[in-house]
Amino acid sequence: MGEPAHLTSATVNEERHIPVLLAEVLAGLNVQTGGRYLDATIGGAGHAQAILDASAPTGQLLGLDRDPDAASRAAARLACFGARAQVIHASYVQLAQWLDGAPWVDGVLFDLGFSSWQVDDPERGFSFREDGPLDMRFDPSSDVPTAAELVNQYPMEELVSIIRQYGEEPQARRIVQAIVTARPICSTKHLADVVASVVHYAPRHSRMARHRGTSTGAGERHSRMAHHPATRTFQALRIAVNHELESLETALPQAVAVLRPGGRLAVITFHSLEDRLVKSFFRQAERGCICPPESPVCVCGRKPSLRAITRKPIVPSKAEVEANPRSRSAKLRVAEKL
């Protein structure tokens, strides 16, 4: 980790990840000529490229990604920007350390979750649509336990709590009982089948569509996909394997610290746990003081550090969801450093 990413032949000329809420991100970050930006989750560099274009001819961007493959793909895509773009294989939990030389930036972007490349590659183990090893690590070169290790080795109660908490899955206990009976489970399909054997949801969209007697094409197809019985279990395991919420909690204050006053922080989330975390971080940072309400004077001395630009999160338009169904659960929140 922490190495500048290099171009590999496997990563060139593939452009399958469509950046979500692109125009809204550029406006939210208030991208300006000559600005300095940090893309904490560079992925396929779709947002990053647009930021570099909008800040031309002198704007600079540093991109991080925990996935070595994503980092090299991004480096390849941004090679034409020369020294204006730098990509490092690193987690955003250490984001402040990569800005050592010149600590201030004008904007920080987090586009959370996974990219299309990651979910579409069965070898990464993120998806139950195709069979693959039960891995789910964003960084396969790291030694964190894989999803298979969690599923096969964690005690029952710990697994119940992971699936209940991170998947918001009401049937967590029933699922874990089935998992424990079926152990060992080493592939995504096996896990999906085990979950599907005990969880039976009526897909929400079909109830709604029956009500309305309508169909929304691609959006509907994908909302049906979102309600595969294993969706919540897979989300929970991915969050647990990659310590996603803890990482975000550590990184957000660092992002505020590296912003210059007036700089913007933009965060795109894809599920309610992430969105709640970001919303509550923004609220606290706006408020500053964390003294209990009964305290007559402030003793904590904390001052507000952010002003929210978006009171409600920005969500994709109907047209964007039709064109890119994977954007359907995206929420963008933006705040400005005081």
Residue 1's contacts (CB-CB under 8 Å, 6 or more residues apart) are 66, 89, 90, 91, 139, 141, 142
In angstroms, the CA 236 to CA 179 distance is 14
Q: Are 105 and 156 spatial neighbours (Cβ–Cβ below 8 Å)? A: no
Tokens of 283: 């609220």
Tell me what percent of the chain is helix, strand and coil, each rounded to the nearest 5. 50, 15, 40
Please give the size of the binding site for ligand SAM, defined by CB under 6 A: 23
- Which whole-number Å values give the CA distances from 95 to 29, 92, 114, 289, in the listed order? 18, 5, 18, 25
Pattern 240-269, binding to ligand SAM, x per CB under 6 A? -------x----------------------
Binding of ligand SAM at residue 124 (CB under 6 A)? no
Among 115, 146, 223, 329, binds ligand SAM (CB under 6 A): 115
Residue 86 vs 216, nearer CB to ligand SAM: 86
Q: How far is the CB of 100 from ligand SAM (least distance, A)?
A: 18
Contact range with ligand SAM by CB under 6 A, out of 2-10, 85-93, 203-211, 231-239: 85-93
Q: How far is the CB of 148 from ligand SAM (least distance, A)?
A: 19
Q: How far is the CB of 292 from ligand SAM (least distance, A)?
A: 33
Nearest CA to 130 among 223, 200, 230, 219? 230
Q: How far is the CB of 182 from ligand SAM (least distance, A)?
A: 29
- Which whole-number Å values give the CA distances from 186 to 97, 117, 135, 172, in the listed order? 37, 21, 9, 19
Binding of ligand SAM at residue 64 (CB under 6 A)? yes
Contact range with ligand SAM by CB under 6 A, out of 35-43, 126-134, 194-202, 231-239: 35-43
Burial class of residue 148, CB neighbours in 10 A (0-12, 13-18, 19+):
buried
Binding of ligand SAM at residue 271 (CB under 6 A)? no
Binding of ligand SAM at residue 205 (CB under 6 A)? no
Contact range with ligand SAM by CB under 6 A, out of 5-13, 109-117, 275-283, 307-315: 109-117
Q: How far is the CB of 90 from ligand SAM (least distance, A)?
A: 7
Q: Are 230 and 76 spatial neighbours (Cβ–Cβ below 8 Å)? A: no
Residue nearest to ligand SAM (CB): 43
Contact range with ligand SAM by CB under 6 A, out of 107-115, 183-191, 220-228, 304-312: 107-115
Binding of ligand SAM at residue 91 (CB under 6 A)? yes
Residue 195 vs 252, nearer CB to ligand SAM: 252
Residue 137 vs 337, nearer CB to ligand SAM: 137
Helix 172-182 vs helix 156-167: crossing angle, to nearest 10: 140
The amino acid occupying position 146 is T
Binding of ligand SAM at residue 11 (CB under 6 A)? no
Q: Are 36 and 105 spatial neighbours (Cβ–Cβ below 8 Å)? A: yes
The amino acid occupying position 319 is A
Provide the terminal-to-terminal Cα distance of the chain, rounded to the nearest Å.
32
The binding site for ligand SAM (CB under 6 A) comprises: 17, 19, 40-41, 43-47, 64-67, 70, 91-93, 111, 113-115, 138, 247
